[in-house]
Structure 1
Amino acid sequence: MWKWVILVFSGFGAVGAVGDDDPMRLHWAPLYEPGCGGWITSVAVSPHDSKRVLVGGDVMGVGVSEDGGDSWQSTFGFRMWEINDFTFHPTDPKVIWVGTLGGPYVSTDGGRNWQMRRTGFPPLGKDYYSAPIEKVLLFPNDRSRLLAFGGSHRGPWTPHGKPLWGAVWESRDGGDSWRQIATLADGSREANIVSAAFAAGQPDLLYVGVRGKGVYLSTDGGRTWTPRNDGLPDTSNLGRLAVHPSRREVLWVALGPYRTPGKEESQPGGVYKSTDGGLSWQPALNGLKLQSHKDANSASHYKTVAVAPTNPDVLLTCDYRSWGRCEYKDVDGRASILWGPTTFKSTDAGRTWRPVLKHRAMDQGCYTAYSALENTVIEFDPHNAERAFMGSSMCLLRTEDGGKTWTDATSYRPDPNQPELWRGRGFSGLCSANFAFHPRDPNHAVLLGLDNAFWQSRDGLRTWRRVENGAGHNRTGNDITFAGEGGRVMYVLLSQFNTPFAGIAKSSDAGQTWKDLFGEAHDLPEKSPDGQGVPPDQALAIYALPDQPDLVWATISGKLYHSTDGGEHWRIVHEGPGLLWIAALPDQPRSFYVSSAKGIYFTEDGEKLKLLPGSPGSNPWLPGHIAVDRAKPPRLYVASGGLWRWESGTWTRLRDDPSIMNVAIDPTDPNRLAIATGDVPRRDVTIASGVWISEDGGKTWSQQNEGLACLRGRVLALNPHDPEQLVLGSEGRGYFV
């Protein structure tokens, strides 16, 4: 039973522990898998204490560090986790504001706990973000007066409803209530405010950047706005602004690629500077990488520029789209992505630039747990121009020496003698895909997550090694199965939620080496190009007979494939459509269930499938995860638009909750159940409610979220070697144990 969730690691500390005063009480703590794995949207260093750093992500919530980024603590109180930009109170170090897609939030304890503050905003959007906020500003001469700006530099997310992009909100009571005082939309839904700042020393002079419309100036505290775009070649991909810390008329703006009439190629973006308050702009491009391309994804794209508060001659910027111009090279005996210049530094206020970070694992580069250097946000230490943080689509970097060297601020390598091993620092941005403990080896586990997470641990979850082959760039897997003597044969079905089949990775040596299976040679579909296809064309489940590893089944594009020769050749045994997940009977492994759009199928021989009458249907958004207990006769549980149980030919709906994503059964007590609830990131307040536990076969439930930094869950995994250990995979905040 789950009385305790305890892991004690020599040299690493406890992952999580609770007392036995309450046998039902669970406490969650980060798993410390390598972070970050998700899109960093914001970084902020406290002006009161450089050791306090906050980081936010697009679906990741907020992490707070009290040691300068060496470790990260969980935060609580968010009702959604789509984070934009931070603002520290100028005199109270405990007060921090952040804009989110769900509106403004405030912390009064330095960033650990957060409260929504949107009185006066539109009603909460049930299926959309009603009033997304990019940034909250506090007036320097009146701390009870605030402005909130409608937008998100990550980009408009939702096609639903009528979100108030481009709105300007004002509070006169410290954020307790708000009223809209202006809009930059002018009837356009594309007026997305991506940056906002006060001019130096001017309480009523503000600049904003509006993607698709340009730079705007207000001289009356945000009530009216005037465009200031003369000299900017285009504003369709406007990035962030950087405002001089002491000269009100000086500012910089980053631009992305743009199309010019008569030219086939997208023109490169860059950095532009104004010395007259935006009345005119001049290019500040000398030394930057500038590349045009027919594919806009491969043209130079500058999303952000930052100026050092203590030395405004020092700036940093980065070419976000350098990933579109990379080559592959063997480095240190493993495949590595050789990136072009990504990050540039100026020491003369933007007149000239030089690269300070080029590519992973090479000169002027750094090792990161995740390969992407698609840098999107930069933050200087307010007290030290040599120290800066830089967030990307997959990692957070830190420099302490002005860009000479960079380190991964969300992962580290604990053993210098084994540089391939990584451990997280406490802030993970993974959207979980699956997790599996090895059935025979208590120290071996496999973790899968979006977009590029295929990791193995061989020391009881202490450290992790990435599978470099088999997954491919920007790929992960959806399912894992073990078979054969000692469980040495492993299959991983490669795909992720928004991409179809990417192959099957097979290992015959317990995950040491891998072979890719795909295409005509194996009677399988070809690998799909990155980013092509959406559910239900993805590949979800794979299952091999534990004692006969050559017998394998997989659901690919909604069909059931079967191999009798260890994956070398496959044939379709059921056309579906919409076949999803597989769960075998514990004592009859050749008999298994398959969830689908039509309902639940059962087979006794792996060939002929029979639809169970009255069974619940599933789809990729109602995932249809299934689990079978060891009761006699066995009972089937289905997470699909609620929680269902199939017992003795009868279906019972145990819980009517559309957010239920997964179900797990305690192998030592079939009446003890766990469910994970989840949600898609598209609404002001999530419908997910975290984890629930039942001790009586689903009759009653208790909510168990203590220590859980994100309530949106997707993956549940029980350790077969220690049934009291339960792992939860979240949708955007990584894994918890």
Structure 2
Amino acid sequence: MKGPKDELLNPADQAAPAVRGRATLPKPPTSKVLQRLLYFSEERGLPITEAVADEKPKANRRRSTTAALSVEGPPEVVSSYAQALVDAALALQPAVVEPAETDNGDSEPTAPAAITTLSPPTGFGPQWRFLGPTMMSNGQTYGESRVVVSGRISAVAVDPSNANHILCGAASGGIWESFNRGTSWSPRTDYAATLTVGALAFNPSAPATVYCGTGEGNFYAWLGAGLLRSTNGGSTWTMHATAPFVGQGFYDLLVDPANGNHLLAATTHGIYESTDGGTAWTLRRSGRCWDLAAHPSGGATAEVLAGCQSGLFRSTNGGQTWAAVALPGGPAGYDRLAVAISRTNPAVAYAFGAAGATQYLYRRASTGTWSRITGPAGLSTGQAWYDWFLAVAPDTDAEIYLGAIEAYRGNLSGSTWTWVTISNKTGDDIHPDQHAITFDPTNANIVYVGNDGGLFVSPNRGTSWTSLNNGLGITEIEYMAQDYGSSRWLVAGTQDNGSIRYTGNPAWDHIADGDGGDCGVHRTDPNVVFHSYYSMGMERSTTGGNFGSFGWIGPNVPDGYNALFYPPMEVNNDTVAQAGQSVYISRNRGTNWTEVALPAGQVASAMYIPNPNTVFVGTTTGQVYRISWSGTAWSSATALTTPRASAYVSDLHVNPANLNRIWATSTSLSGDRVFRSDNGGSTWVNCTAGLPNLPITAVEVDPGNANRVWVAADVGVYQSLNAGASWSAFANGLPNALAVDLLYHPHARVLRVGMRNRGVWEIPVDGWLAAPICGVQWNGSLAPNQTHRWFTHSWPATWHMIWTIMPTSPLPGAPQVSWKVQVERASAEFVTYWISVTNHTGSPVSFEGRYAILSFY
């Protein structure tokens, strides 16, 4: 007998929908992170300004330098984009009133029972929930040990009045708070106008007041929305000052120890000063400033040092005016420059910079003379614009810490420096790419370091380390793929934390190293899993993606091949494709490849495979192509009508049951970004009206209802129930992080979204099943004392069901029938139920075979 909706559910009757992926970044001629930043800005049409290089590289062209880079350009472009993000975030969430001022800070903050930055939406309908990862074990390092990781930390601060109280900031994952030295964490800004964090600072004289500079200077600078403030130690936050910081990124914040109303900010645009507790700001020096260091006593005449793109600067009036400091042998400009002043001997200071391949490390002696010193051998400056820090030990001026890709400790004895690599060594290690450092306020041995893998603490100045990443849900997801036969199985690619796998536990498995790119799962044989790194080529596992089970399968492309940093790839059963300047297609799971050319100048940015014989490709210039299998060969790429000329195609979706229905989205700004074709791409309907003026990153369609569509934007997810004629927010409880990939599970009926620095979230699109769905599947009869077996097939394997037998011919006496249920996994997605029924009476009996669906999930 048949199961429900066999026409839809039986895989023998219908071609399987593709496992969808989305494109993201250009092939790295130099630094991977630099190429990710370049792509992210170019995808959105944001202008790029570089300190040294004049030319934006093509994907296959080498860059002359890895100098400091900024997404800046005309302020009106960046600020309008940033303001659109703020407006969209605020439109999705309710307003909040800033909490009342606390006392003067003598009493330390206590953990609230259940406080978040803003209350999540409380309206009717389904709500998003966090799926993970809460952490990832077996995380990668450059050393001999594996570690527990989470995602990129950009800032960390310890409460000066309570060493148990820690705040950390994820690059685009918001502020997190711990009251037990990082054993557990709670997110505090999920519903703020932006989740980007560049700097955190407690008020030393009143630690209940804390400031956060939004817009991460290292990468997500243009997402800055202003200065956040908390008056209860970091448990709740409000926007304290927007001007002049919308569209800027923060690197550092200083609160004057002698005057809590006096603040200095180092941003992508310069050094700013506030004298009224951060409400109003004055630009004191223009030009990028990365780091600030002040005399530990503070005050109106305190010395402040600033590490700027044009060099080292010094102020002796609290930051109002600045004078250049000549460093012997220093360059004309820096890719990065950090500064530090000793707490125990403020006459001693340090500067740590990079220009090109050269590191510059200086020490100012008590005499006031700066001299260059030799830093650690092997220190890489290739990503100095991105990962860099300098700190002086709190208890001695003869010990410093440097952060680049690796972290180092230097100790001065007499005139000799001894350097130790503390991140990658014999013993326990930490993740590479160092961004932030701070110390326990009462114990100088305890050091906290934040990097691309999360937050780590050392009790002994970097000799050994403990991961503090359990519960930090800040993984930067790039792509997702799923097993259609399980509601609790996903694979995802992540920034600098490899490819990961979800199997029902919020702590996900690390299954492959590197930068995790696009990925896919064979629908009818989900043990076959594909993952990619950056650039062309991929690996395949035949054991469900277990760590160490992947092997390289190509496609192997020639030198100079032009492709995005993360080239789009798609999997539909045995058909696998990956594309750059051409499309490589395999019909045997990646064992053999056929190259199909794209027109000159085209680079693939999105793909969709609605069935194993058809491939659709979108490009960075707005073109859409179709490639078909003739039975013996793949056709050439046939151009469809362009939805929007010169607009980056971020995602495609094609209805497997109707190849004429095509969806295309774009991340290009200032124009239409969602399009639908009902005639195979001959013409397009603009479906952008009603969406915020933001890049649209992904599209997903309900296979059971072709008019129900979801799109992800740089902030929020939106739903249409009428094929794009109108849209409504579909973001109940979803953090305001960047939403970059969507995945719908048709059997479990949940939509998943991958977010930058906030992991994976899911929502039951129609709500969780509130009551069982009951029905009669068949009617049967049995002769006296007879046993017979029935079966019912094509039920989704994700559904939780109960089967019962109910007699319809009543007879007095003992129980009339009994039954046993056996389950057969008929395919990767569907199950068959075998029900054996026994008549225990001496009379014929009729009965109903009844089912109850308890959950689709």
Contact 1:315 1:349 in 2 (8 A): no
Superimposed CA distance per residue, residues 525-571 of structure 1 (whole angstroms, 9 cap, x where no aligned partner): 0488xxxx875586212334x2xx2x43332x232222344433322
- Matched to 1:579, the amino acid is A
Partner of 1:690: 716
Contact 1:315 1:350 in 2 (8 A): no
> CA separation of 1:710/1:343 partners in 2, compared to 1, >3 Å: closer, same or farther?
farther
Superimposed CA distance per residue, residues 282-322 of structure 1 (whole angstroms, 9 cap, x where no aligned partner): 5666xx63358xx85499x994332454x346844135255
1:280 and 2:369 equivalent? Answer: yes
Partner of 1:605: 629
C-alpha separation between the residues in 1 aligned to 2:565 and 2:330?
41
1:479 and 2:479 equivalent? Answer: no
1:136 and 2:181 equivalent? Answer: no
1:41 and 2:104 equivalent? Answer: no
Contact 1:120 1:179 in 2 (8 A): no
Superimposed CA distance per residue, residues 310-346 of structure 1 (whole angstroms, 9 cap, x where no aligned partner): x346844135255xxxxxxxxxxxxxxxxxxx43264
Partner of 2:578: 554
- Matched to 1:365, the amino acid is D
Partner of 1:65: 178
Partner of 1:355: 420
Partner of 1:652: 685
Q: Specify which of 320, 323, 341 is matched with residue 243 of structure 1.
A: 341
Deviation at 1:205, TM superposition (A): 0.8
Greater CA drift, 637-646 or 25-34: 25-34
- Matched to 2:202, the amino acid is F
**What are structure 2's unaligned runs of at least 5 residues?**
1-118, 137-147, 216-223, 667-671, 763-857
C-alpha separation between the residues in 2 aligned to 1:302 and 1:33?
22
Partner of 1:149: 265
> CA separation of 1:494/1:526 partners in 2, compared to 1, >3 Å: closer, same or farther?
farther
Q: Specify which of 698, 707, 720 is matched with residue 662 of structure 1.
A: 698
Provide TM-score, normalisation by structure 1: 0.71
Partner of 1:464: 508
Aligned pairs for 1:90-489 (under 5 A) are 90-101=204-215, 102=224, 103-118=226-241, 121=244, 124=246, 129=248, 132-144=249-261, 146-152=262-268, 164-165=269-270, 167-171=271-275, 173-180=276-283, 182-183=284-285, 185=286, 189=287, 192-229=289-326, 236=334, 239-245=337-343, 247=345, 249-257=346-354, 268-270=359-361, 272-276=363-367, 279-282=368-371, 289-291=376-378, 297=382, 303-309=388-394, 311-312=395-396, 315-318=399-402, 320-322=404-406, 342-344=407-409, 346=411, 353=418, 355=420, 357-359=422-424, 363-366=426-429, 372-411=431-470, 425-430=471-476, 432-457=477-502, 459-468=503-512, 474-483=514-523, 486-489=525-528
- Matched to 2:504, the amino acid is G
Deviation at 1:715, TM superposition (A): 0.6
Deviation at 1:604, TM superposition (A): 4.8
Deviation at 1:201, TM superposition (A): 4.9
Q: Specify which of 595, 620, 643 is matched with residue 618 of structure 2.
A: 595
Partner of 1:155: none
Deviation at 1:462, TM superposition (A): 3.3
Partner of 1:23: 125
- Matched to 1:563, the amino acid is S
Deviation at 1:435, TM superposition (A): 0.6
Deviation at 1:86, TM superposition (A): 1.7
Partner of 1:672: 708
Identity %, equivalent residues: 20
Superimposed CA distance per residue, residues 28-50 of structure 1 (whole angstroms, 9 cap, x where no aligned partner): 56542538565533211111322
Contact 2:133 2:508 in 1 (8 A): no
Q: Specify which of 715, 725, 738 is matched with residue 712 of structure 1.
A: 738
Deviation at 1:716, TM superposition (A): 0.9
- The number of aligned residues is 603
Contact 1:268 1:291 in 2 (8 A): no
**What are structure 1's unaligned runs of at least 5 residues?**
1-16, 153-163, 260-265, 323-341, 412-424, 679-688
C-alpha separation between the residues in 2 aligned to 1:86 and 1:20?
30
Contact 1:318 1:376 in 2 (8 A): no
1:32 and 2:147 equivalent? Answer: no
Partner of 1:542: 570
Deviation at 1:373, TM superposition (A): 2.5
Aligned pairs for 1:494-573 (under 5 A) are 494-495=533-534, 500-501=535-536, 503-512=537-546, 513-518=549-554, 524-526=556-558, 536=564, 539-544=567-572, 546=573, 549=574, 551-555=575-579, 557-573=580-596
Contact 1:33 1:735 in 2 (8 A): no
C-alpha separation between the residues in 2 aligned to 1:298 and 1:63?
26
Contact 1:540 1:581 in 2 (8 A): yes
> CA separation of 1:494/1:258 partners in 2, compared to 1, >3 Å: closer, same or farther?
closer
Superimposed CA distance per residue, residues 612-655 of structure 1 (whole angstroms, 9 cap, x where no aligned partner): 75451587x73431224577787332223422222356632222
Deviation at 1:380, TM superposition (A): 0.0
Contact 1:590 1:604 in 2 (8 A): yes
C-alpha separation between the residues in 1 aligned to 2:324 and 2:659?
72
Superimposed CA distance per residue, residues 564-620 of structure 1 (whole angstroms, 9 cap, x where no aligned partner): 4443332223424333433333xx54344333445433455372367575451587x
C-alpha separation between the residues in 2 aligned to 1:579 and 1:117?
43
> CA separation of 1:120/1:569 partners in 2, compared to 1, >3 Å: closer, same or farther?
closer
Greater CA drift, 57-66 or 217-226: 57-66
- Matched to 1:389, the amino acid is Y
Contact 2:290 2:336 in 1 (8 A): no
Contact 1:601 1:609 in 2 (8 A): no
Contact 1:375 1:391 in 2 (8 A): yes
C-alpha separation between the residues in 1 aligned to 2:565 and 2:499?
21
C-alpha separation between the residues in 2 aligned to 1:379 and 1:356?
17
SS at match of 1:169: strand
C-alpha separation between the residues in 2 aligned to 1:653 and 1:475?
35
> CA separation of 1:298/1:85 partners in 2, compared to 1, >3 Å: closer, same or farther?
closer
- Matched to 2:272, the amino acid is V
Contact 1:358 1:364 in 2 (8 A): no
Partner of 2:643: 616
> CA separation of 1:315/1:243 partners in 2, compared to 1, >3 Å: closer, same or farther?
same
- Matched to 1:305, the amino acid is L
> CA separation of 1:554/1:215 partners in 2, compared to 1, >3 Å: closer, same or farther?
closer
> CA separation of 1:439/1:120 partners in 2, compared to 1, >3 Å: closer, same or farther?
closer
Contact 1:715 1:730 in 2 (8 A): yes
> CA separation of 1:618/1:42 partners in 2, compared to 1, >3 Å: closer, same or farther?
farther
> CA separation of 1:564/1:193 partners in 2, compared to 1, >3 Å: closer, same or farther?
closer
Provide TM-score, normalisation by structure 2: 0.62
> CA separation of 1:477/1:220 partners in 2, compared to 1, >3 Å: closer, same or farther?
closer
Structure number with greater CO (CA < 8 Å, separation at least 6) is: 2
SS at match of 1:51: coil
> CA separation of 1:358/1:67 partners in 2, compared to 1, >3 Å: closer, same or farther?
closer
C-alpha separation between the residues in 1 aligned to 2:302 and 2:123?
57
Partner of 1:161: none
Superimposed CA distance per residue, residues 210-246 of structure 1 (whole angstroms, 9 cap, x where no aligned partner): 2354443322232223344466756836643333335
C-alpha separation between the residues in 1 aligned to 2:578 and 2:327?
58
Partner of 1:89: 203
SS at match of 1:488: coil
- Structure showing greater radius of gyration is 2
C-alpha separation between the residues in 2 aligned to 1:205 and 1:197?
7
Q: Which runs of 4+ in 1 moved over 6 A?
A: 17-21, 347-351, 630-634
